[in-house]
Amino acid sequence: MSSQIDHLLSETRRFAPSADFADAAVGAADLYERAAADREGFWADQARELHWHTPFTQGLDWSNPPFATWFADGELNVAYNCLDRHVEAGHGDRIALLWEGENGDERRVSYAELTDEVKRVANVLQGLGVGAGDRVAIYLPMIPEAVAAMLAVARIGAIHSVVFGGFSADSLRARIDDAGAKLVITADGGYRKGKVSALKPAVDMALADRNGSGVQETVEHVLVVRRGGNDVEWQDGRDLWWHETVPDASPDHEAEGFPAENPLFILYTSGTTGKPKGILHTSGGYLTQAAFTNRVVHDIHPETDVYWCTADIGWITGHTYVTYGPLANGATQVLYEGTPDTPHPGRWWEVIEKYGVTVFYTAPTAIRSFMKIGREVPQKFDLSSLRLLGSVGEPINPEAWMWYRTIIGDETAPIVDTWWQTETGAIMISALPGVTETKPGSAQVPLPGITVDVVDDAGEPVGHGNGGLLVITEPWPSMLRGIWGDPERYKETYWDKFADKGYYFAGDGARLDDDGDVWLLGRVDDVMNVSGHRLSTAEIESALVGNEAVAEAAVVGASDETTGQAVVAFVIIKQSFLKAHPAEGLASTLRGWVGEQIGPIARPRDIYIVGELPKTRSGKIMRRLLRDVAEGREVGDTTTLADTMVMSTISAQVK
């Protein structure tokens, strides 16, 4: 491996937690020791924090790799753990959800109220013939009913497949068909960017007459929440209003225990190519790690914290750190329906001030877009309640990390950069706040009970200082149990590469620094090879964003006759910079800058200054499309972009 990725690793800043934070923190250094001494016993202890209808006697069963089971002879009810248990412990009046609609609507839902609602919905579902093992598609905006729907499905032992509300009718149809869903729960519409965005028509289209399509219709009913108030078409016999059925249902519903390995949900990952993969998660192990990681990484003190994870429930982050983790811990959390900049660019900061948010978990792409707007916006709000900040979804470059710390965290709140995936179910690599000295840009250390390594193509550890592939060396409780309906693809995608070692292949490049901290270098398909040197897109992006002129950057490797691949960068310039400086010559200045920061080999061949970058709805930059532009090809499939117009604008700017 080349030594061209040193730039990121020259980071020398360290931030130790304050003594006050460390004293009060839920996590403690001895967790690492306990887990190292007896990893499976450690996870069993965490699992026993949950309520088990039938206690388990088994831990991990890895006798049939790569198919793991955890706590398999135990029985639990996931919804009971997230709801009834807190009410029975006397916390029924505690607020579970502080809901803020984009249009300013508000609802405060206590644990007792949410439990009552979920019991009614569970009765409605069973009345519609939905039972254990059946699949239910959920296509809803960020409203309390979304959380209630997930928990009601879990309560009856059925399997949910949440489909992000921004996905098209076609994507919804593909997911409904792959899972064979019996019921769809949706809404008329929800608020997005200041207006009602309809959802029900997409469901109608997805379920439109399929005569002759060869697909057997599995959906029997559509349960519709009224949120947007927009007109909807109605199919009698199939469609039911939530507000006409749920309130009339009985609030008595006994939570039955289900086996720990009962499937809990399928979540489709956007997948770079081919049809989306239905990632399958089960109950006991998943909830164990969801609750544990939320407790120790987000340092949840349920009596006092107001937690806010900005992810949509359509993504894994919304599953684990909006619905399951925080509710299993009895936390109070904000649920926000809309976009960060509606009706004004300070909306998120306003929400933090209004509810006194203490723990805030968001994505680097959001942080960088706030950087682009400027610090004046957050500085108009009182953010002094914030005591812990989290990041997830992609590498956070040191500049964004420092901005987050300084402008949002007032230079005191620890930042946890959390690495994990839809497939891992819960956080795997992160600092423990109050324990770990944090480093801008590094996700740092595997959590207690998690074992990772960085290896070469043969599975041999590359040691400190070298780049390689991130692997997880031992099974973990919240690991995916498979790809829905495709066990072969599960094996091939994640396990075949290091079959002899039994390692899980994460698909990410990584490097360990001299302290043994993990630096994520982006997907391995984003690692470029220029003249035989390995270069990471993340590293060059980080260098670019480190220049005072640059707000955002995306780097791709484009094929090049002489060097194999060449570095091509797309950058957005800060508006504030353009006000004070001419735009001429910027591209060549930036080329030189990258050369200075990393070395001449990393100097982009081309730098294009653009107004926007193509992003998926979950905020990931779609480098594949930028590569098409950089290589002068017709731009490929743009349907998973949040804004499908972006690519035509970029293509025009590049020409």
Binding residues for Mg(2+): 545, 550
Interface pattern 487-506 for ligand 6R9 (x via CB under 6 A):
-------------------x
Q: Is 323 in the site for ligand 6R9 (CB under 6 A)?
A: no
* Least separation in angstroms between CB 3 and ligand 6R9: 21
Cα-based angle 342, 343, 348 (whole degrees, multiple of 5): 55
Tell me the binding residues for CoA.
192-195, 317, 531
User: Do β-strands 482-483 and 504-512 pair in parallel, antiparallel, or remain unpaired?
Assistant: unpaired
Is the preceding peptide bond at 487 cis, omega within 30 degrees of 0? no
Q: String of b and e for 526-543 (b: at least 16 CB within 10 Å)?
A: bbbebeebbbbbbbbbbb
User: How would you class 341 by CB atoms within 10 Å of its CB: exposed for 0-12, middle for 13-18, buried for 19 or more?
Assistant: middle
Which residue, 355 or 420, is less far from ligand 6R9 as judged by CB?
420
Part of the chain binding ligand 6R9 (CB under 6 A), chosen from 324-332, 413-421, 553-561, 595-603: 413-421
Residue 150 or 443 having the CB closest to ligand 6R9:
443
What CA–CA distances, in Å, run from 393 to 270, 310, 390? 14, 12, 11
- Name the minimum Å distance from CB 233 to ligand 6R9: 33
| 293 contacts ligand 6R9 (rule: CB under 6 A) | no
Query: Is residue 552 near ligand 6R9 by the rule CB under 6 A?
Result: no
Give the CB-side neighbour count of residue 286, counting CA atoms within 13 A: 30
**Are residues 155 and 143 in contact, defined by beta-carbon separation less than 8 angstroms?**
no
**550-560 and 75-76 strand pairing:** unpaired
By CB under 6 A, name the one of 340, 374, 461, 507 that touches ligand 6R9. Answer: 507
Q: Of the candidates 111, 336, 419, 484, which one interacts with ligand 6R9 according to CB under 6 A?
A: 419
**HSE of 498, CA atoms in CB hemisphere, 13 A:** 23
Q: How far is the CB of 60 from ligand 6R9 (least distance, A)?
A: 23
Interaction pattern, residues 615-654, with ligand 6R9; x per rule: CB under 6 A: ---x------------------------------------
- Our finding on whether 523 is near ligand 6R9 (CB under 6 A) is yes
- The nearer residue to ligand 6R9, 74 or 619, going by C-beta atoms, is 619
Pick between residue 8 and residue 316 the one whose CB is nearest to ligand 6R9: 316
Q: Which stretch binds ligand 6R9 (CB under 6 A): 108-116, 415-423, 624-632, 635-643?
A: 415-423
Between residues 72 and 450, which has the closer beta carbon with respect to ligand 6R9? 450
Give CA 346 to chain center in angstroms: 23
d(CA 52, CA 40): 18
**Which x/- pattern, by CB under 6 A, does the window 570-609 give for ligand 6R9?**
----------------------------------------
Residue 543 Ramachandran class (φ > 0 left, ψ -120 to 50 alpha, else beta): alpha
Binding mask 370-409 for ligand 6R9 (x = CB under 6 A): ----------------------xxxx--------------
Q: Any bridge partners for residue 15, and if so which?
A: 438
**Distance, CA of 209 to CA of 572 (rounded, Å):** 45
Residues 188 and 428: their CA atoms lie apart, in Å, by 37
Q: Are 494 and 505 in contact (CB under 8 A)?
A: yes
Strands (E), 499-549: 504-512, 518-523, 527-530, 533-536
Backbone angles phi, psi at 165, to 5 degrees: -60, -15
Which positions make up the binding site for ATP?
393-395, 417-422, 508, 523, 534
Residues 133-192 binding ligand 6R9 (CB under 6 A) are none
Do 398 and 547 touch, CB atoms closer than 8 A? no
For the annotated binding site, the residues are: 192-195, 317, 393-395, 417-422, 508, 523, 531, 534, 545, 550
316 touches ligand 6R9 (CB under 6 A): yes
**Minimum distance, C-beta of residue 423 to ligand 6R9, in the bound complex (Å):** 7
**Total residues belonging to the chain:** 655
CB of 376 to ligand 6R9, least distance (A): 28
Q: Between 84 and 508, whose beta carbon lies closer to ligand 6R9? A: 508
Q: With contacts defined by CB under 6 A, how many residues of the chain interact with ligand 6R9?
A: 20
For ligand 6R9, the binding residues in 432-451 under the rule CB under 6 A are 443
Find, among 581, 449, 470, 474, the residue nearest to 520 by Cα: 470
Among 100, 299, 353, 508, binds ligand 6R9 (CB under 6 A): 508
- Measured at the CA of 421, the angle between CA 415 and CA 422, to 5 degrees, comes to 130
Select from 111, 242, 420, 503 the one that contacts ligand 6R9 (CB under 6 A): 420
State the DSSP string of 211-251: TTS-PPP---EEEEE--S-------TTTEEEHHHHTTTS-S
Percentages (nearest 5) of helix, strand, coil residues in the chain:
35, 25, 45
Residue 302 or 507 with smaller CB distance to ligand 6R9: 507
For ligand 6R9, the binding residue among 161, 333, 418, 442 (CB under 6 A) is 418
Q: Which of 77, 81, 171, 422 binds ligand 6R9 (CB under 6 A)?
A: 422
Which residue number, 138 or 246, has a Cβ lying nearer to ligand 6R9? 138
Tokens 């403690």 appear where? Answer: 28
| Among positions 520, 530, 566, 598, the unique one binding ligand 6R9 when judged by CB under 6 A | 520
- Within a 13 Å sphere around the CA of 293, how many CA atoms are in the beta-carbon half? 34
Among 305, 337, 417, 513, binds ligand 6R9 (CB under 6 A): 417
- Residue 469, interface with ligand 6R9 (CB under 6 A)? no
Report, in Å, the least distance between residue 585 CB and ligand 6R9.
33
Q: Report the interface residues with ligand 6R9, using CB under 6 A.
A: 269, 316-317, 392-395, 417-422, 443, 506-508, 520, 523, 618
